[in-house]
Amino acid sequence: MTTLSLTINGRLYGPIDVRAELTMNDFLREVLGLTGTKFGCGAAQCLSCAVIVDGDDGTSHTKPTCVIPALSFNGKKIRTIEGHAINGELTALQKGFIEHFAFQCGYCTPGFLNEGQVFLERLERKPISRADLEKAIVEALDGHLCRCTGYVKYHQAVRDVILADPGRYLT
Amino acid sequence: MRPSRRELMKWVTASGITLGISRLSLADTLGFLVHETLPGRGVSRPASGRVDGVAKATGAKLYASDFRAADLPGWPGETSHALLVRAADATHVYSGLDLERLGKLAPPSVVVTAADLERIGTRVPEFYTGDLFCPVGKTPLYLGQPVALLIFDTFDAFDRARLALREDNFLRFGAETGPVPGANYAAFRFTRVAGATPDAPDIYSPIQEGWISPGFLESSGRPIWQPLPVAKGGEYVKGATYGEDIRAALARKDPSILTLARDFETQSVDPMFLEPEAGLAWFDSASKDLKLVLGVQSPFEAGSAIAFLLGEAADAYKPSRIDAQFAYVGGGFGGRDHTPFPLYVALAAMFFPGRPVRLAHDRYQQFQGGIKRHPFKMHSEIGIDRATGKIVAFAADHVLDGGGLMNYSTSVAVVGATGATGIYDVPKVDVTTVAVHSRGVTAGSMRGYGTLQTMTALEVLVDEAAAALPLDPIEFRRRNALKVGGRTMTGNPYSVSVRTPEILDKLDRHAIWKRRAEEKARAPAGVLIGTGVACSMKDYGTGADCSLGTVSIDPEGRISIHSDAVEMGNGIGTALANRVALHLGSIADEVTVAQVDVFDALGLFTSGDAYLISQEEQDTAARDTGWVPAISSATSASIGAHVGTQAAAEAARVVFRFGLWPAALDLWGIAPNDPRSKQSDEAFWQDGYLVMSGLSPLPLKAIAAKAHARKGVTGAMAHAFSRWAWSQATFAIGDQEWTADIDALAIQLGSAAFTRLDRSAVAFPPADYNRIGTAFSSLCGTLVRVEIERATGVLRIAKAYSVLECGQVLVPEVVVGQAQGGFAMGVGYALLETLPPFEEGPGNGKWNLGQYLIARGSDLPLHDLEIEVLPPFSPKEPPKGMAEVVMIPIVPALLNAIFDATGHRFNALPVTQAMLKGVLA
């Protein structure tokens, strides 16, 4: 057993004793009961399990949790789907997903939401041109698998959130 | 699903058997203690979106895999975990499990094996016939058959054990036996010979003569299609004689007839819903209550199956009550309809009494044990009059592999065969089909089952035929399309709109089609461009579909809806809310789905079997008010919009007509003898107000308050049943007679409890309708343009267009979303997905994503996929199922485009990059 401490959605967890081989996905779902993060394949192929890792340098990226030991998140700050809305106020991307009917069964939604949010934040730091937008969305979301939707409405939702506030995301 | 299941064979071999899913004798599937009420009262949400939108976008606990005991009120706090160990060998004797190798760190608290089931006296439900666990000393029936259920007290022990089991093989096997032989599941012959003119009666058809099956060779179990007299009974001989005549004519090589004979093979694939199957159960040994949380498409069936499983078990293992809660489903596509997984969840709890136990597949286990799509081998022959371009005859032979357990194989065989003529009017048809047993992973229901396979083969064949005539492929389809009133292969017409000409016109006029030659010509060096078209007509419904719904409105005008339909991404909750809103003027504040326990007020009961019942039996049974042919159906077969919303819609009509309308009249001051009091059909809702010409619009809230004050009808609960037509019944409501497409009704007056109304008359659809293949159908046509890199075989879908019709569209965004999802699944099926049979396939427990490819965003024309949905044929056209048909034409359209680009016709799926590269080398 080794102790694990980390910040999830702004709240400090730990120190908690965990086994070295316990995956982050099981830590979230079985230990903490945070089941918003899903388990899809256990092979880092579908990314329904991806969470946001916030770096100290102000950048963020997503990381699958199903094959990665919980201990590798020691000291990290992460965000999960449960942490996007603040005081019940949905983010622009959450609203966008809902208004676009982006998801169907919704099981892949946590991964898409996290990836989309990281993408938006990246554009805020480093805007891109309108002409490059669709291609950039495909590249950002492409690792995430969805079996219901054909992806179209996810992409449209992300695009429309950006186009609704072009000064923030586009050059 | 379809008239088949296990019953269909009985229909053929022993008609008149009475059986069925009766009202649960052991226990009712009671109590949804945790209602997943969405959107939920007072929850703020965006102005548009699914009713479950906020919950899904915020990570709420919704799915069966999300729940642990601590989440459930009244349950113990700790959750134990179970592991289903499956055999990756089906040719050697299973000799046991070497659990000592798990070591001291991960000892299971309980090990459940076949011997334990034998000891306690479980029964396997007939649908799942076959050992739930392979006994020691026997060869597993199929790859992936469970051998043991290991139950671990703690998650840590479970986690260690599953990792160890994944790394090493703990199962011992002895002598080689080869695969366990098993009888094939079903064989049918569908033959139709039309009369001399379209209006003339058929000379022979399944509707007229009944469905027929051949005899089987005792030595091999193979069907005997000919020589004819060997078959059982004269019925087969008569049909087969017509069938053989059709084949003989096709073989005659008449120069005026173009004949083509082609083979086509489709592969096994996995539904690959994102949430692997999971469940949670707790047997409270003190109260003897078995409580479960499950996620299936068929809640009523799952509860019934568990009740049957344990119904005659030893006292300590027999619950007195089963309380199953059904959660939202993380994707279904048919693969969660009649899956045996809930049985193992229940067993886990029964063998670890007092402790909540969770059983959840990981993805390897889901591949190994989950339901698969049937692979088909097909031989098709078509004859076309060269002068007219019209099809004169079609014959086909289908062989589909059902794997180790029967599941839906019989039904898939029937659906595939009866759909084999697609959108076409064919005067002479002869199709044989046999669903074979093998040691493969069990195949069952999956989106578009049977027809995806046979219509793909047909649309590819038709494309080749049109080229050979030669005739424009769309013109060929136009000349041969089944028209309104035309007869299907079983000899009945569709009883819904048939809009093939419109769909073909749309395809013909679309830029992708019109510019096909131009685009092909302008292909850059090293790139081949091709355009393909296909059009498919797909049944929806099963021929015994049920709908349960309750609608009520409170004095504040807030609407609640309860339904037995399952939300698996199909948007049924939103569709319910929208369809009810048509009658009550507002979107519901509360929608609960997957409920089968809240309709007790209807006092429903059933007997016999909806698919097998004779007319006499039905007429006798129908005299008991409360009897219905079946109580609740799986959410499958694209029945969501058409069936799933029917009872709620009819309940809403009753609430409006006998609650809100009289209240509105009261508010308007219109007396009962005023002619306007009879004109409820002329009132309509706009922005939450009831509008009637010449009168002040009334807000819903005021009307609802008045309805409650008057103690009018403020809630209605209904049951509906469809056997290719709705049951219809008459009820006395107040002093009026009300006739509607329902067969049971209860109403609520003011805030009183629901009271059942005895029907004064009822007409159930005739029992003979069970001979229909399908009477409900929707249509989808697709165009695709592909670009193929000659050097690498890389295929890119440059543009695509699907046009469909589905009657009244309840939620346009959901319909378009289903079409987009169907497109992606079609692309995966055509180009990417495949599971090899047997030892190299998923039954070996080594398959996962990465090896198994499904379509990603970058595989699809995300910004160049156009979906067009035709408006309803008439304002009163009801909703039609569409979630399956939108997948089907994608596959042949892609193959036809690949031919157009490469000049090569592939006759097996999937067509991979390597295969394309191979033919282009």
pLDDT digits (tens, 9 = 90+) for B594-623: 777 789 899 999 888 898 899 999 999 999
* Region B578-589 average pLDDT: 90
Partner-chain contact B58 A81, CB within 8 Å: yes
Which 3 state secondary structure label does DSSP give B650? Answer: helix
Tens digit of each residue's pLDDT (9 = 90 or more) over B858-892: 999 999 999 999 999 998 899 999 999 999 999 99
The type of residue at B211 is: W
Q: Nearest-CA residue of chain A relative to B164?
A: A21
pLDDT at B385: 98
Q: What tokens were used for B471?
A: 């005739």
User: pLDDT tens, B314-366?
Assistant: 999 999 999 888 888 999 999 999 999 999 999 999 999 999 999 999 999 99
- What are the helix (H) ranges across B718-835? 812-827
Q: Among candidates B426, B419, B537, B460, which has minimal Cα distance to B260?
A: B460
Residue B6 has pLDDT above 90, yes or no: no
pLDDT at B226: 61
Average pLDDT in the B647-663 region? 97
**Which among B47, B363, B820 has the least Cβ separation from residue A42?**
B363
Q: What is the pLDDT of residues B70-103, one digit of tens each?
A: 999 899 999 999 999 999 999 999 999 998 888 7
* Domain B31-179+277-360 homologous superfamily, CATH: Aldehyde oxidase/xanthine dehydrogenase, a/b hammerhead (3.90.1170.50)
Q: For the structural domain made of A92-169, what CATH number should be given?
A: 1.10.150.120
pLDDT digits (tens, 9 = 90+) for B499-547: 999 999 999 999 999 999 999 999 999 999 999 999 999 988 888 899 9
Query: How many other C-beta atoms lie within 10 A of the C-beta of residue B812?
Result: 11
Cβ of residue B155 closer than 8 Å to a chain A Cβ:
yes
Average pLDDT, chain B: 90
Q: Provide the strand spans (E) within B567-612.
A: 590-592
Average pLDDT on B489-494 reads: 92
Same fold across B187-268+373-541+775-920 and B545-771: yes
Nearest to B159 among A26, A104, A153 (CB): A26
Whole-number pLDDT of residue B232: 52
Where in chain A are all domains bearing CATH 3.10.20.30? 2-83
Cβ contact B638:B884 at 8 Å: yes
The domain limits of chain B are 31-179+277-360, 187-268+373-541+775-920, 545-771
What confidence tens digit (pLDDT) does each residue in B423-437 have?
999 999 999 999 999
The rounded distance, in Å, linking the Cα atoms of B831 and B909 is 7
How does strand B777-789 pair with strand B759-763?
unpaired
The architecture (CATH level 2) of A2-83 comes to Roll (3.10)
Whether B105 contacts chain A with CB within 8 A? no
pLDDT confidence bin for B46, thresholds 50/70/90: low
Quick check: helix, strand or coil at residue B526? coil
For A11, list phi and psi in degrees, rounded to 5.
Answer: -110, 135
Instruction: Say what the pLDDT of residue B25 is.
Output: 25
Supply the pLDDT for residue B5. 31
Tell me phi and psi for residue B474, to 5 degrees: -75, -40
DSSP type of residue A6: E
pLDDT at B125: 93
- Which of the four CATH numbers 3.40.50.1110, 3.40.630.10, 3.40.50.12780, 3.30.365.10 does domain B545-771 have? 3.30.365.10
Q: Can you tell me the distance from the alpha carbon of B895 to that of B909, in angstroms, rounded to the nearest whole number?
A: 9
Chain region(s) in chain A for CATH 1.10.150.120: 92-169
Task: Report the CATH number of the B187-268+373-541+775-920 domain.
Answer: 3.30.365.10
Q: Which residue has 């990756």 as its token pair? A: B88
What is the pTM for the complete model shown?
0.93
Instruction: Please check whether residue B863 touches A, CB under 8 A.
Output: yes
Residue-wise pLDDT tens digits, B687-706: 999 999 999 999 999 999 99
Using a CB-CB distance cutoff of 8 angstroms, which residues of chain A are in contact with residue B71? 33
Stretches where chain A sits below pLDDT 70 are: 1
Our CA-based measurement puts residue B627 at a distance from the nearest CA of chain A, in whole angstroms, of: 35
Read off the pLDDT of residues B825-858 as tens digits, 9 standing for 90 and up: 999 999 999 999 999 999 999 999 999 999 999 9
**Tokens at residue B787, please?**
């670009």
The whole-number pLDDT of residue B234 equals 58
pLDDT at residue A167 in the model: 97
At B245-295, the pLDDT tens digits run: 999 999 998 999 999 999 999 999 999 999 999 999 999 999 999 999 999
Inter-residue contact B143 to B134 (CB < 8 Å): no
Residues of chain B with pLDDT > 90: what percent? 77
Whether B33 and chain A come into contact, CB under 8 Å, resolves to: no
Average per-residue pLDDT for chain A: 96
For the segment B741-750, the average pLDDT, to the nearest whole number, is: 96
Please tell me the predicted confidence (pLDDT) of residue B326. Answer: 87
Joined tokens for residue B606: 């059933």
Beta carbons of B54 and A100 less than 8 Å apart: no
Are B569 and A113 a contacting pair at CB < 8 A?
A: no
What is the pLDDT, as a whole number, of residue B47?
A: 57
For B558, phi and psi rounded to 5 degrees? -85, 135
Which pair of structure tokens corresponds to residue A48? 């329904």
Task: Please tell me the distance from the alpha carbon of residue B303 to that of residue B30, in angstroms, as a whole number.
Answer: 9
What pLDDT score was predicted for residue B10?
A: 31
Tell me the per-residue pLDDT of B162-210, one tens digit each, with 9 for 90 and over: 988 888 779 999 999 999 999 999 999 999 999 999 889 999 999 998 8
Q: Check CB contact of B270 with chain A, cutoff 8 Å.
A: no
Is A142's CB within 8 Å of B857's CB? yes
Higher-scoring residue by pLDDT: B297, B424: B424
Question: CA B467 from chain center: how many Å?
Answer: 35
Q: Is 50 exceeded by the pLDDT of residue B373?
A: yes
> Number of Cβ pairs closer than 8 Å across A and B?
197
- Model ipTM over 0.90: yes
Number of other residues whose CB lies within 10 A of the CB of residue B41 = 11
What local confidence, expressed as pLDDT, does residue B218 receive? 66
